[in-house]
Structure 1
Amino acid sequence: MTISRPVRGRSLRSELLLWQLGSLLLVIVALGGGTVLFTQNYVRSQFLDIRKSQAEAVLHGTDLALGLQDAADEQTRDDWMAHWREQGGAALLAGWNERGEMSFDALTLELAHAFIGEGGQPLFGEGEGVLNVEGEPYYWRSEVLFGGQQLAGQAVVAFSLPSRMNLLQAVTQQQFPLILGALAFALLSSWLMWRRLRRTLLDLEPADIAALTVRQRQLLSTVPDGVMLVDAAGMVTLVNEPAAQALGQPDLPGHLKQVWPQLAALPTGEELRRWPLPLAGRVVLVNLTPLREGGFLVALTDREEATRLAEQLTDTRRFIDAMRARTHEYGNRLHIIAGFLQLGRNSEALQVIQDELEAEVGLNQALAAVAEPRVAALLAGKAARAHELRLTLIIEPESEVPLLSPVQADTLVTALGNYIENAFEASAGEVRVGIGLDPYGLSAEVRDDGPGVPAGLNPFAPGQTSKGAGRGQGLAGVAALAQAVGGEVWHERQGPWTVFGLNLPLE
């Protein structure tokens, strides 16, 4: 897995500031452009209506036709035209009498040249329109005028219209305080957001967060066991490669009930250690650690692999425990025999030796059909332990255990060990163990003559026990392990006996 290293760039504060300012400028430009376009269309439409009314008033609402017709000389006509241009507000007012003599008044010569030819003739016939002169738009209208029934001549009137630049300048000047206020608000909100994010992100910059993420992925990639993170809502948000392979490459984030239903059914609010669970046709050991912020961290290990790695050590420990118990018991017997001999009571010494030989032969006969060495070692050790506790442990003579797979053997040994120890604590004097084969697999029962399980108590549920605080996990682990391999556990009261059982299917 190739992981690229983060590159340190701008700080979080500068990133937020640039982002907000850029967003604000885009909004201002978009709104300004939209406002200009709307204002231009609206204002030009309004201005056109106004200019048309003004042109109508100048051309027909005055005695302009009579002035063109009756003016005797050019100066008089020019004064006449200047008067009506000023009165009507036109940027250009030009007229020709019936003899073609021209008079005009214009704001600029460029405007006059746009409507009047070099020979003094009008460049436009009757009509109206919009013409750009030196980059400025003008509405114009040209008509032939009559004084009464007599032709007076032709007149052209032009009025200025607002340009895009003028509109933009007007909008900018009008909205400038608002723009300054928006920029100040963006700067203030950026600073406040930066302070809040800095506290939330533990004063880390984006490059620092990216570096932590890279290191986290590198760390998870080196862990051989599966690791997964579940948030407070029950969503699986992170898995490393071994966990992804075990879970079948789940789509993340995904709810735990879909990713791993058996884990979702556990009480995930408390810590679990080496809890067996089924996953994709095999058994895994789960270590679950609740997180302070909610959710929990899960580490999972293949149980078969863990069993193979610990098998030799586990077997050695059990044999040592068994031999230690038997050595201790033999030592006690030897002291008794030595005492009888010192007292000259040879017959009693011989009787003790005979009892020991008979007990050893009986144990060997009871374990003759137990082919699984770990189970045989466990039962031998428990027999010695029962002798120390002044209890009677009876292994049914017909007990039979074939060679088992590591997981099955571990399940049976775990169940028997917990059942027998609990029976020792509860028994009034006798504990019986029976193991046998049936058409469905292997069945094991441990019975004691104690008072039994209190009413309403489920001894296989986590934390439920009558033995006090800190107990109640052993049988819960047995139940989880049996369920993981397809078996079942049970308990019942049979007359004076309390019976705990295990049904284990065999491969």
Structure 2
Amino acid sequence: MSLARRFLYLQLAVVVLVVVVVSLILFAQARDALVARAEGMTRAVSTTLVDDPFVRDAVRSPDPHAALQPLTDRLLADTELDFVTIMAPDGTRWTHPVAAEVGEQYRGDRSHALAGQTWTSTEHGDLGPSVRTIAPVRDDDGTVVALVATGVLLDAVSEQALGQLPAVLLVGALLLAASSTVAALMARYLGAVTHGWGPEELAQVHALHDAVLNEATEGLLLVDAGQVRVVNARARELLGLPAAEPGAADPTALPVPSLGLPGALEAVLLSGAAVQEQWFVVGERTLIVSTLPARGGPARRGMVVILRDHTEISRLSGQLRTATTLAAGLRAQTHEHANRMHTVVSLLELGRAGEALDFASADMARAHSLSEDLVARLDDPFLAALLVGKTAAAHERGVELVVDVEAGVPRIPIPPADLVTLVGNLVDNAVEAAAANAAAVRPVVEVEIARTDAAGDAGEAVAVTVADTGMGVPEELGRAVWDLGTTTKDAGPEGRGVGLHLVREVVERWGARIEQTNDGGAVFTVTVPLPAAERPRVPGVPA
């Protein structure tokens, strides 16, 4: 049975019970009111008769019945009394509604009246149970010379109470109808919001809901009107939100601006627009965000936000691209070395051993000089090896790669894998741009690594500048040049537009800064702040 139907039946049972109880109470109150009215009426008539001089004189006459019976008959006709009995102190009736009872003994308590009290009670007489009042008639010296009893039969009271029963039942029916209508409307609303499910089904759905949310490997959020209504544990981890306390319920509404998210991601969540696999950097993570409308029944209920962690994939992609670049550099060196060896062999076959020796010595000295110079100036063997390989690869493509390293420059405070990704992608893009510019007389790519000042009070930093003689970055691209899939090259195989996006990820991950300008070609400058421990000590200035 659905929760709504159970609620309806329970409400109807309560309503019927309440209506029955209220009706009985109203009926009882009506009957009590009639009894109280009868008591008041009998008491008033009795006290009036005992003080009437006519009654006093009649009870002392030789034939009290003849004088008093007409009076009592008139009272019975003019009032709602059922009997008026005037009797002698010994209980012998002088008057009675039934003529045969005249002269008979009064059936009732006379003790209170003989003691001089006016007494009201409910007793059983010849006519049946009744509400009656008995009072004493005194002569001038206070002696009780007669008794007056007036009464209303309880059957008459019950009939009057039953006469009010239709009104009581009408009130009860109206109360039942109103309460049933409200209960039915509430049950209908409850059935709509619970989809006609019972409490067991709702409990199961809630348990499944929690299981899916908390065990999902993707982050899930439900955002409605700028408020986060649902957030699972994985989403808290990916967005850097504090974990929910064990046993504590998640807040029903968490404003999106209070989450401390990057501006671009916050704008997407507040816009309510559907997006597909947009990339955002949150802290040290790279997230792929998709949103789609959430519907509860026929109406839209905000949007579902799906978060996927792409950090490790991005790092692996960068490392793979770097490895590919190094392999290409090795292939270029192998190809160039093969050409030189062919030249040396040919000179030897021609009998020109001296010239072959001079050619081989000069080539070895040039290669050895480049390697030793980079290793001596760079305190990073990974970066030095990368630039040596890039020099050979650029030379094979007809591009001259010039590397200028300032003496004594400290090691760049970025892990080798990320540093290779950063510099390798910038150099690759620069070599491709320089080689593709047919107007360039001498395709050149310049790499400069030098110490510089960081922005603000951050102290010193290391700047890596990569410049080429290509066509530069189109101004209309703006900041979109850093987005995944954006490329200035002709449409080619899948994977274009990845390099600068990876560069931006590395820069943001390690708190660096990158700038791009056009100066006869594209110029990219990455500024990496140095840790305080690696900054030189200036005499007179506290560390």
TM over 0.5: yes
SS at structure 2 position matched to 1:502: strand
Q: Does 1:443 align with 2:431?
A: no
- Cα distance in 1 for partners of 2:198, 2:74 equals 73
- 1:333-366 deviation per Cα after TM superposition (whole angstroms, max 9, x unaligned): 6358648966989879986995586256425523
In the aligned structure 2, how far is the partner of 1:174 from the partner of 1:73? 51
TM-score when scaled to structure 1? 0.67
Whether the aligned pair in 2 keeps the contact of 1:271 and 1:289 (CA below 8 Å) is: yes
Cross-structure match for 1:173:
169
CA distance in 1, matches of 2:122, 2:424: 104
Checking the alignment, whether the CA contact within 8 Å between 2:333 and 2:389 is kept in structure 1 is: no
For 1:404 and 1:244, the matched residues in 2 are separated by: 27
Q: 1:423 to 1:321 in 2, by over 3 A?
A: closer
Question: How far apart are the structure 1 equivalents of 2:78 and 2:403?
Answer: 129
C-alpha distance 331-209 of structure 1, shift in aligned 2 (>3 A): farther
1:229 is matched with which residue: 202, 211, 221? 221
Q: Is the 8 A contact 1:411 1:481 kept in 2?
A: yes
Mapping 1:346-361, distance limit 5 Å:
354=362, 358=366, 361=369
Taking the aligned partners of 1:190 and 1:364, their CA distance within structure 2 comes to: 85
User: What does residue range 289-368 of structure 1 map to in structure 2 within 5 Å?
Assistant: 289-293=290-294, 294-299=303-308, 306=312, 318-328=322-332, 330-331=334-335, 334-335=338-339, 338=342, 354=362, 358=366, 361-362=369-370, 365-368=373-376
Q: Check whether the contact 2:219–2:232 (CA below 8 A) recurs between aligned residues.
A: yes
Contact kept, 8 Å, 1:315 with 1:374, in 2: the verdict is no
1:70 equivalent among 53, 58, 69: 58
Q: Is the 8 A contact 2:113 2:134 kept in 1?
A: no
Determine helix, strand or coil for the equivalent of 1:248: coil
Are positions 1:26 and 2:14 aligned together? yes
Structure 2 SS opposite 1:231 = strand
Structure 1 residue matching 2:527: 3-state secondary structure: strand
Structure 1 residues 267 and 196, CA gap change in structure 2 (3 angstroms)? closer
- Corresponding position: 1:249 with 2:266: no
CA distance in structure 2 between the aligned counterparts of 1:219 and 1:271, rounded to whole angstroms: 22
Match of 1:155 among 148, 157, 163: 148
Confirm or deny: 8 A CA contact 1:93 1:104 kept in the other structure: yes
Alignment correspondent of 2:297? none
Q: What letter matches 1:20 in structure 2?
A: L
Which residue, 447, 457, 460 being the options, matches 1:433? 447
2:261 maps to 261
Q: Who is 2:391 aligned against?
A: 383
SS at match of 2:401: strand
Q: Is the 8 A contact 2:481 2:487 kept in 1?
A: no
Distance 1:266 1:448, change over 3 A: farther
Confirm or deny: 8 A CA contact 2:380 2:411 kept in the other structure. Answer: yes
2:510 is aligned to: 485
Are 2:422 and 1:415 aligned?
Answer: yes
Corresponding letter in the other structure for 1:393:
L
Q: How many residue pairs get matched?
A: 469
Partner of 2:456: none
Structure 2 unmatched ranges of 5 or more = 99-104, 295-302, 438-442, 453-458, 532-543
The equivalent of 2:207 in structure 1 is 214
Q: Distance between the aligned counterparts of 1:467 and 1:124, measured in 2?
A: 124
> How far did 1:423 drift?
3.1
SS at match of 2:450: strand
* SS state at 2:293 partner: coil
Q: 1:177 to 1:212 in 2, by over 3 A?
A: closer
Q: Work out which of the residue numbers 479, 501, 523 in structure 2 matches 1:458.
A: 479
TM-score by length of 2: 0.63
In the TM superposition, what is the alpha-carbon distance from 1:16 to its structure 2 partner? 1.7
Indicate the SS of the match to 1:490: strand
What is the aligned partner in structure 1 of residue 101 from structure 2?
none
Map of 1:127-142 to 2, 5 A cutoff?
Answer: none
| CA pair 481-211 structure 1, distance change in 2 beyond 3 A | farther
Q: Which residue of 2 aligns with 1:4?
A: none
The equivalent residue for 2:536 is none
SS of the residue aligned with 1:211? helix
Kindly provide the amino acid, as one letter, of the partner of residue 334 in structure 1.
A
Out of 432-441 and 98-107, give the one that drifted further: 98-107
Task: Summarize deviations over 1:76-104 as a string: whole Å, max 9, x none.
Answer: 96786576346422356444467865467
Counterpart of 1:505 (choices 523, 529, 539) is 529
Deviations 1:399-455 (A, max 9, x none): 85627464xx45544433443344345444332222334443332222233334416
SS of residue paired to 1:295: strand
What is the aligned partner in structure 2 of residue 3 from structure 1? none
Indicate the larger mover: 422-431 or 345-354: 345-354
**Letter in structure 1 aligned against 2:328:** R
Question: Are the counterparts in 2 of residues 460 and 475 from structure 1 also a CA contact under 8 Å?
Answer: yes
Give the whole-Å Cα distance in 2 for the aligned partners of 1:443 and 1:362: 21
- Shift of the alpha carbon at 1:20? 1.9
Counterpart of 1:239 (choices 207, 232, 235) is 232
Instruction: Using the TM superposition, give the Cα deviation of residue 290 of structure 1 relative to its aligned residue in structure 2, in angstroms.
Output: 1.6
Which deviates further from its counterpart, 386-395 or 341-350? 341-350
Contact 1:393 1:432 survives alignment (8 Å)? yes
- Provide the rounded CA distance (Å) in 2 between the counterparts of 1:391 and 1:133: 130
Q: Deviations over 1:199-228 (max 9, x none)?
A: x5xx865434533543454466556x6845
Unaligned runs of 5+ in 1: 1-10, 108-112
- Paired with 2:366 and 2:95, the residues of 1 have a C-alpha distance of 146
Indicate the residue corresponding to 1:288 in structure 2.
289
Matched, 1:394 2:398: no
* Kept in 1: contact 2:213–2:220 (CA 8 A): no
Deviation (angstroms), 1:191: 7.8
Relative to structure 1, the CA distance from residue 244 to residue 315 in structure 2 (aligned partners, 3 Å threshold; closer, same or farther) is: closer
Is the Cα contact below 8 Å between 2:49 and 2:148 reproduced in 1? no
SS of corresponding position for 1:247? coil
Does structure 1 residue 277 correspond to structure 2 residue 269?
no
Question: Match for residue 108 of structure 2?
Answer: 116
Larger Rg, first or second structure (1 or 2): 2
What letter is aligned with 1:444? V
Cα displacement (A) at 1:322 = 0.9
Would the alpha carbon gap of residues 328 and 431 (structure 1) be closer, same or farther in structure 2, given more than 3 Å must change?
Answer: closer
